[in-house]
Structure 1
């Protein structure tokens, strides 16, 4: 016998007890012999003063074995932050009669009851053996609720670290489990400092890189095939530690810049006769040239990100944004450029729903979306722009935001570590400290038990 409505269950259970003694001994009697809860869910939940949600969206697990004589009911995926649990109606499937503790006493559970789950509740399910002896089973019900908004980007209230010594323009990347920051403070050569990704509070002293003829372009640094690469005066140099560099003769062929590395290739731009061409290398020794670089393609402050397609994880795509103002292009759109092979880049811009042009722009692929940010002065770092696929963009209105202290700053770089923390690394100025801030969307730090 399986009855799903508690009011019917309770009525039938009590009625069956009353009539058992009046039945002829020749008649067969169906006893409720299974004191288990088959399923459990909330009817609806109040998220806050204005929002409700269907309880069936949030699944509950039942550990029938439990511990000792107590089974457990719980939700693996926590309910939204601020969910109201003081008055909740439930749906339950059981063959027995259910009681719970109210005001210190066992109380029959009816379908119309609302329960207070702000503290764990114990249910007791009653059934009987064929000889009439009682069988009981206890269920402890614990409700997990997020203590923070899972969709919010949390930066904390203070910098993660202050005192890197970094001054001027910079670019950072993660290489061999270290964060390297290359900076141009106006000296005759760029400088480098580093810290273990697992630390971030102990940095090597800023030192000029060596082994390079001419001044290196800090913004061209990239990691590829267990080495770092950088461009200086059309030549490409490589390094295993970020400080000591040697020329790579095979790649040193009128190279203008390195764009990115992804999917086993290093992509750049080089001159070929009177043309400027995209180029890639897969062996770190020779370039394969591609299409001619469009006249509107950005040449400075380039930021790139790469990812695997949702539809096919074996296909990789890179997207970049940058500054083309020096080319005399005064549009208002931050144009995203996309490539699958590094030899041909496609303009993804649209005339509507675009990301506004800003200085010091960065693009990241984070939490399965693209985010763009940057700027300087009072208009800088006041918002993110977000896109699902890199083409249609919209301003982020809530939850994914910057601390107010970011506004008015300019020189920075970023990395994203394997724990999904975004590091914003600020250069020191006369008014601002050389700080590192770490932020992460809360849900990316949740662990499913």
Structure 2
């Protein structure tokens, strides 16, 4: 599907572009074939490159000749990287040093038709390898292209690491099927903490981009200082739960922001709000190829597409452990994570994400984690936007919109949760177990 689409686009249109090279649609097939020839002795290819045209070309080359691809996220620690290479029995790795053999001698039995092994960031331990076939990834990309339509064909700016499935499939693959120009600046071009995001969007005249909620917050602050970004037609936000108030704030500032929901096991996106079908507070309608239901409050995907984890094949429905609801019009809503549910000493079941969303809609709070399992009331770790923020007053405001049993009674200030200190996943989710473990050590 991807390769057939590539051949149908205008030959003279730019397909891929970074700071170093430009590839037109007329040359894309040859560029892929050139790299595919170099993979004749490769069984499993790891990609450890910065975002670039080369990253995409090596990925497509592997896909075109049936070589299993294992993207290495740049935020992985050396230990996680070594674990990934070993678990997937990677035979070769493409890095800034070129294509080299890893020296790994052992093999692993991957499910038949595995095209990509994407490693989740791991909430408590080592990353887990999710095995995906080509058809699952193409189904997602094609469905996204269908629901957005030709009106949104333009310039897609990759701001997330390409090793993150959301950008790889929902960004690059969907954009190639649609016939977009894909801009691929180095991740360093966005600056530390995405300080240069506004500049990159303006310079590339991007019409679409995918963001995680934390980066959307950063962009809102930059727009308040530097002005609007009129080129943008569609901003998808996902990777973790997004508060409806954040979506509303973004739209009030002129940003066309739409929330979606996905899972690695479903080859990224499962549902998505769009301009034609939009309900703030939900994560949109299921994509055309997805069949799902809610059983005892838990979302179940009946055709997830993935083949299993490394060493563990699977068939049938996938229980997501996400709590939610599916309404009569087909809009899906997420209320929390099954395994995160707190049960207070009064017997109240509370999803911390619900309370955190109320806190995070307060502009003075940058990050938060709510806890209180087996306690009479809830507490929160708060990362303030500034040292001058009156957090006590902010919490009172947030509590005003919550029932008494879900209100925050105590709080502690915390240092920011980041990739560097191991307290944030690559998609912006807080690592709750590690955060609370550190709290207990204080």
Shorter-chain TM-score above 0.5: no
TM-score relative to the length of structure 1: 0.23
Structure with larger Rg: 1
The structure carrying a bigger strand percent of its residues is 1
TM-score relative to the length of structure 2: 0.23
The structure carrying a bigger helix percent of its residues is 2
